[in-house]
Copies of this chain bind each other. A is one copy, B any other.
Amino acid sequence: MPRNTETKPDARRKLLDSARMKIRKTGFGSMTVDELCKDAGVTKGAFFHHFKSKEEFGVATANNWDELTSGFFKDAPYHTLADPLERFLGYIRFRRELVTGDIYEFTCVVGTMVQEIFETSSDIRDACHESMFNHAELLVDDIEAAMNIYPPNTKIDAHSLALHTQAVFQGAFVLAKSTNNAAKAREIAWEMIDHLERYVLLLFGQTTNDGGKK
């Protein structure tokens, strides 16, 4: 029985892949190692070969999520736009488009995790923090450039605004999870993101002629 000769995805990878779905569905605490291994098609021995504890696996999952999203957004199309405000708006619109499929597919792994482990595991908490805050930080340059071109009436901090985008997404996910079906969940998330877009447009003095936008 050849174990894993040409099929690259090894146990570690499979576990991290499955954890992303599992955690968004049940949270970290309620995700058991046994079930995760079953989902990933991997034995428990393999799990504890690669990770010395469930907590360490939590940290690895947060880091993995960070790498995954970082790479994904680095290659996103909105970066090619000439205007920095358009790039910022492009980011928001891009994330709006990512709200598709089932709830556990478009919500956030680290946002879910941090809610329940912030008091019990500082390592996982810090890893989640890094993922969210570093991601927000990627927006700061565009926001600052946009503020130079379209100076807002109010003095606002670019870091704070970048973080606010993350807050709106996270909050939208919480509301989305409270609905009883994916279609309604997406609808709500979209609406919340539309408010965020509108806020940015108003902030930078753009007229919002989106008329009957849903």
Please give the residue numbers on chain A whose beta carbons come within 8 Å of chain B beta carbons, in ascending order. Answer: 25-27, 29-30, 103-104, 110-112, 114-120, 122, 125-126, 128-129, 132-133, 153-157, 160-161, 163-164, 166-175, 177-180, 188, 191-192, 194-195, 198-199, 202-203, 207-213
What's the minimum C-beta distance from A53 to chain B, rounded to whole angstroms?
15
What's the minimum C-beta distance from A98 to chain B, rounded to whole angstroms?
16
Give the residue name and chain of the B residue nearest to A207 (CB): B153
A174 close to B180 (CB less than 8 A): no
What's the minimum C-beta distance from A115 to chain B, rounded to whole angstroms?
5
B114 close to A178 (CB less than 8 A): yes
What's the minimum C-beta distance from A58 to chain B, rounded to whole angstroms?
12
Cα-based distance from A188 to B160 in the complex (angstroms) = 8
Cα-based distance from A166 to B171 in the complex (angstroms) = 7
Known: A103-B118, A104-B119, A171-B169. A195 touches B161 (CB 8 A): yes
A175: chain B residues within 8 A (beta carbon): 132, 163, 166-167, 170
A116 close to B30 (CB less than 8 A): yes
Known: A163-B191, A195-B199. A178 touches B25 (CB 8 A): no
Interface pairs (21), CB distance under 8 Å: A25-B120, A26-B29, A26-B119, A26-B120, A29-B29, A30-B116, A115-B115, A115-B116, A118-B178, A155-B211, A156-B198, A160-B195, A164-B168, A166-B171, A167-B168, A167-B195, A170-B170, A170-B174, A171-B172, A174-B174, A202-B202
B195 close to A164 (CB less than 8 A): yes
A128: chain B residues within 8 A (beta carbon): 178
What's the minimum C-beta distance from A142 to chain B, rounded to whole angstroms?
17
A208 close to B30 (CB less than 8 A): no
B178 close to A163 (CB less than 8 A): no
